[in-house]
């Protein structure tokens, strides 16, 4: 009971620190030029301060250093925070003077290598049902880098509406925290404490960021949150299994879906993969008549559904998990085609269902005529 009370107090202090720091970061953002001016690609109608992620990073770092200084994992936590600082600095520079994709990628790759070599976090083995366990060997580092890059960029891509990336990140982190606590023996409890400390830091920032926002996460915050989600998910992937790999992928179903379909859309439209557009999930919902808050809340609901599926997967058998994955993919594809995320001309599943339906209808008409 005493530990639980102390933990709640620490979470409250973390949130309070973030609440106090955010207005100060807002003033700093204007002074250093970390602002977002209105443009064709932006939703905002006035110049907005960015780099709000600094408040989250500082609050989280202070409380985590305090919580872990006397634990055996203190050195690992320090290296994780130093690596995260590299990502935060990369994002801050981008918020001030807009880096190109290669420069941002370089910053995340450097941080990923630091995590792999200094914090000793990464893929090492992979267990696949019916095939066995494989030692990754030299593939361990590149797979770790690809994993971190993919999740970091996925979270960064959905940061297009007030409170969207922050809210989805809290849902994802809460799910990872629950999975860590219940399914990772030993270290999982400490990991859950660290994860919920980050959630508390985001919660303190969230009231300033939800619509109508007074400050944005910026790349400072979006890259940091994506990086930390990737790191936390990797904690359970040192000896990765089929389920442990799929769990974080489903938890991050919304940003991963948005990223994958953005890549598909750009390939179909013969555009560079990194080319910006206004066809992301939140853009499509807005174009269909959703309000700003309505679009955000809809995506929150999707994130919760993905998280619930991820939790179910940890209880289901392998065959049930495979069926669950198939059902999810089919349902997701239908939703994506209905809102036109790839484009109105790319609806293979809907066209197939229409063809089958029309064929049956024509057959019924012919049968009636014969009678």
Annotated binding site for Mg(2+): 156, 219
Q: Are 49 and 4 in contact (CB under 8 A)?
A: no
In angstroms and rounded to an integer, the radius of gyration of the C-alpha atoms of the chain is 22
Tokens representing 150 are 């993919």
The Cα–Cα gap between 336 and 338 comes to 6
Contact residues for 263 (Cβ-Cβ < 8 A; gap 6+) = 273
125-128 vs 132-135, strand pairing mode: antiparallel
> What is the arrangement of strands in the sheet containing 125-128, beginning at the earlier edge strand?
132-135, 125-128, 239-241
Angle at 174 between CA 292 and CA 149, to 5 degrees: 80
Burial of 62 (0-12, 13-18, 19+ CB in 10 A): middle
Q: Are 122 and 234 in contact (CB under 8 A)?
A: yes
Report H helices in 128-280.
140-157, 164-183, 187-209, 218-235, 242-251, 253-268
Note the residue count of the chain: 371
Residues of the binding site: 156, 219
Q: How far is CA 227 from CA 49, 78, 79, in A?
A: 22, 15, 13
């Amino acid at each position: 009971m005493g530990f639980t009370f102390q933990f709640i107090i620490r979470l409250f202090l973390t949130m309070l620190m973030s609440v106090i720091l955010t207005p100060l970061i807002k003033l700093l953002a204007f002074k250093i030029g970390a602002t977002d001016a209105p443009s064709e690609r932006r939703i905002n109608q006035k110049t907005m301060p960015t780099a709000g992620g600094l408040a989250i990073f500082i609050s989280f770092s202070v409380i985590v250093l305090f919580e872990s200084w006397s634990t055996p994992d203190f050195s690992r936590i320090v290296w994780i925070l130093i690596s995260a600082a590299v990502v935060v600095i990369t994002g801050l520079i981008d918020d001030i003077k807009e880096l190109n994709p290669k420069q941002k990628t370089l910053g995340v790759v450097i941080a990923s290598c630091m995590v792999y070599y200094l914090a000793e976090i990464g893929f090492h083995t992979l267990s696949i049902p019916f095939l066995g366990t494989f030692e990754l060997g030299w593939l361990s580092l590149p797979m770790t880098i690809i994993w971190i890059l993919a999740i970091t960029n996925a979270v960064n891509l959905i940061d297009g509406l007030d409170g969207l990336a922050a809210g989805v990140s809290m849902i994802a982190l809460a799910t990872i925290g629950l999975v860590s606590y219940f399914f990772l023996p030993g270290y999982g409890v400490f990991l859950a404490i660290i994860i919920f400390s980050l959630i508390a830091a985001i919660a303190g920032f969230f009231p300033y960021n939800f619509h109508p926002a007074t400050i944005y996460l910026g790349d400072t915050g979006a890259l940091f949150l994506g990086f930390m989600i990737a790191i936390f998910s990797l904690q359970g992937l040192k000896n990765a299994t089929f389920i442990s790999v799929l769990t974080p992928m489903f938890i991050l179903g919304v940003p991963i879906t948005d990223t994958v379909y953005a890549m598909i859309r750009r390939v179909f439209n013969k555009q560079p993969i990194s080319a910006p557009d206004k066809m992301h999930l939140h853009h499509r919902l807005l174009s269909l008549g959703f309000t700003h808050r309505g679009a955000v809340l809809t995506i929150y609901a999707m994130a919760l559904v993905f998280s619930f599926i991820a939790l179910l997967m940890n209880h289901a058998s392998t065959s049930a998990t495979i069926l669950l994955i198939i059902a999810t993919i089919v349902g997701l594809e239908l939703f994506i085609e209905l809102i036109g995320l790839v484009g109105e001309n790319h609806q293979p599943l809907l066209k197939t269902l229409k063809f089958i339906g029309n064929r049956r209808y024509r057959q019924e008409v012919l049968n009636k005529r014969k009678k």
